[in-house]
Chains A and B, each alone.
Chain A
Amino acid sequence: MEHILSWLVWLPIIGMVVITVIPRSQEDIIKKVAAFFTGVQLLFSILLWKNFDSANGSMQFMERAEWIPSFNISYILGVDGLSLPMVILTSLLCFIGVFVSWNITKAVKGYFALYLLLDTGLIGVFLALDFFLFYIFWEVVLLPMYFLIGMWGGPQREYAAIKFFLYTLFGSVLMLVGIIGLYFTCGKTFDILLLMETAPDALKNELWWGMSAIKVIWVLLFIGFAIKVPIFPFHTWLPLAHVEAPTAISVILAGVLLKLGVYGILRINYGLMPDAVWWFAGSLAFLGLINVIWGGLCALAQTDLKKLVAYSSINHMGYALLGMAAVIAAGSINGGDLKAAQAGLSGAVFQMFNHGTISAMLFILVGVIYDRAHHRDIEGFGGLANQMPIYAGITALAFFAGLGLPGLSGFISEFMCLIGAFPVFKAIVIASTIGILLNAAYFLWAFQRIFFGELNEKYSDLPEINRLELFTLIPLAVITLFFGIYPRPYLDLIKATMDVIIENVVFVANFASM
């Protein structure tokens, strides 16, 4: 248990090194090695979960080492209730993703080597507690993603890859400026925990070009994270990248990559600049509303199934934003409604996880049908429910989870987000409930067009979903169902950390006059 976090981060890199020494022709062994290393990583993250003290809201399993002392850069890892579920989600999806990519035939060696590098980057972002390290992992994610989309993607893969890369790089650059700004105003350190203590005071009266420094840094970092979430108007890389990426990469993109943004906002923006949360929460809720409505409307109009799912991600992340904005309900100005703050924030963090599992399922399902029919046009199917009953059943589960049906996990987090945000942002929340209808409309309509009606003659010999595909879907389906019925294990895990975040924001607010 001593260095479990380091093991989690570097295991895939070891796997990558192993893969690079395997001859290119041994494709089967390469796949098995990738499965082995991600599997061990999953075991480690479960072990971490087992040993995690959920009553303790602060960082655990901390690791600290000097790295570049002249710039005060250290190697710091740590895990708390906010990052632990994300770590588990990442290792789970990366493990499942290996099996989703089992049918890759093009340059298998390169694919899995990059895949494992991506894995390291993702886990690293969630565990890094040094801002510099965080940024490095953040960029490490970008690089393999570029190649994975650009080389193994669909017809427009190069355009999609370059767009994704430039879009996110643009955000990263702004973020880097923000990081450097923080570094120089807050005592020349990259240690996030230290910054959490010093930043609020150091930034308080700082003015840059006549603007409050805290707002400038907030906005810089926020844009960097917002592009990953993605928050309207920074969302257009997403449909393209999701559609063009190979199935497993879409799963990782939707399941984990989008969470980096929300995680970053909660960890960095909320942690380091709690004053500005008050200033920005209204905009955040409003952006959430736009995400919900805009994503929903766009999804309704899609004819490409994968694009529909991609837009539904935009829609779903909107709820998480609403929930995050609810934190300020706990402040005395808003009547100190701690219940709403807890519901909203936990809802947002729960929504991250649920969207991760649900959208992963959705993308795998799209991949399954694409592998068989070689197109994704919703109008081009019809009557598949009798042809592929098991597939139809699992798709129904995933779609209903996506549209927020009670008994499935998506409902609980959405409802918590909305109910949390309601006391503070009544009009916005009421407007965003239209999203509940939109969700149902686009999912049901798509379901009807694909599965109901007379069977399309072209597909009368379409094979049913196979065992490997089932193996990738069932764990996710079980999680969705389980948390939908009994969300308590998850919520108990994050509760203490959520309280710490709320306390941090509210404590500051009671002394700030923003």
Chain B
Amino acid sequence: MDQLNSYLFIAAILFSLGVFGVITRRNGIAVLMGVELILNAANINFIAFSRFGGMNFDGHVFGLLVIVLAAAEAAVALAIIINIYNNMNTINVDQASQLKQ
């Protein structure tokens, strides 16, 4: 069980770093990178539980799904950021506040 704890511990640290990045960064790319960290923290958890929880390959399947999802998300998000950059000449997410009244 100690091994599981250390995996979870690393995943928690990764998750916290990701959240921290998302919350504090103003740069769109950086925020995106934070999101990647959060996703990968989740992946570590999936794999860890799959290995130590006796759940066969369910965890691996989800891990692969998350990687694919992350790739798609990164593509869409980068496209949005490029569009923001084209329109506003910045990738600071605080500036993209036109919808705010």
Question: Are A and B in direct contact (Cβ within 8 Å)?
Answer: no
A interface residue numbers (CB < 8 A to B): none
B interface residue numbers (CB < 8 A to A): none
